[in-house]
Amino acid sequence: MVSVLKTDSLTKVYGRTTVVDHVSMRIDQGDIYGLIGRNGAGKTTFMKMIGAIAAPTSGTYEFFGEKDNSKTLPRIGCLIESPSLYSELTVYENMMFYNKLLGITDPRNIDEIIDYIGLGEAKKKKTRKLSLGMKQRLGIGIALVGYPDMLILDEPINGLDPTGIVDIRNLLLKLNRERGITLLISSHILGELERLATKFGVIDRGVLVDELTNEELLEKNRRAVGIQGLDPRKVVVTLEEMNLRDYKVLDGGKVLVYCDTGLSGKINRALGEKGMYAESISIEGQDLETYFVEKMGGGTKNA
């Protein structure tokens, strides 16, 4: 797997406060990496450091195996905090400004990007007249001006209505699937990142407390019926007779049955009919939001 971003103990200290604390992370080509954390957890500061907006206090980072920012920054597009837009310029004029800023003299890429982000019909509209969702799309379009290989997006769906959220989600998936762009997206809206990300990092008080793939996350949080205190071999025979074949026998003899947890009563009855009375029948696992909230140190689900 080709590495796009690697950080090694990346740290940022302001005064006596450590905002980002020895974060080591790897993002591979094609990943959609969701950086999850409550407001103030250090997400934006981390992104500012790798986007060369803020200098690290200690630690290092590299893109595409190269530590020289001057070589790699042209391959990175950033949208950190809110888009920097000129309200009296049109969509097209804003794009042209950033085109020239990057030294791109051929304007043909502008129409292509404007159409791609779904603002073709609004390209002559002044930015102050755009909805928040359209401004976010324009901000992403500006980040695409240099045809980057990676996009760093800080809270791209923050404040959007449900339609705007869906529009941005679909655009990001399109960029990843059609153009192969690697994405690093921060958010505190867990449900949306769950729909987007292939890999997750959970940051709490500046510390990367967990990092796992979407598949690992789903496996870790699969709901199951737990059966304790019986001979697991006999339990498995009963499960097979019930056509429940997705199970796991743990050390100590506990059996986890991955199924609709509403079947727990039916499983208990089937065991009882064979003279087997479990020490306990429990519901195992948790929903994804609960898992993330616990990793972020508790609080509300959208903290």
Per-residue H/E/C for 228-269? ECCCHHHHHHHHHHCCCCCEEECCCCCEEECCCHHHHHHHHH
Among left, alpha and beta (phi > 0; psi -120 to 50; other), residue 94 is alpha
Q: Which two tokens stand for residue 74?
A: 């042209």
pLDDT of residue 298: 61
- Contact by Cβ (8 Å): 202, 292: yes
122 beta partners: none
> Running along the chain, 303 residues long, what does each successive block of 10 average in pLDDT?
93 96 96 92 95 95 89 90 88 93 86 93 94 92 92 90 89 94 90 87 93 84 90 96 94 93 94 94 78 68 38
pLDDT of residue 302: 39
pLDDT of residue 288: 65
pLDDT of residue 287: 65
Report the distance separating Cα 99 and Cα 108, nearest Å.
10
Helix, strand, or coil here: 227?
A: strand
Residue 170 DSSP class: H
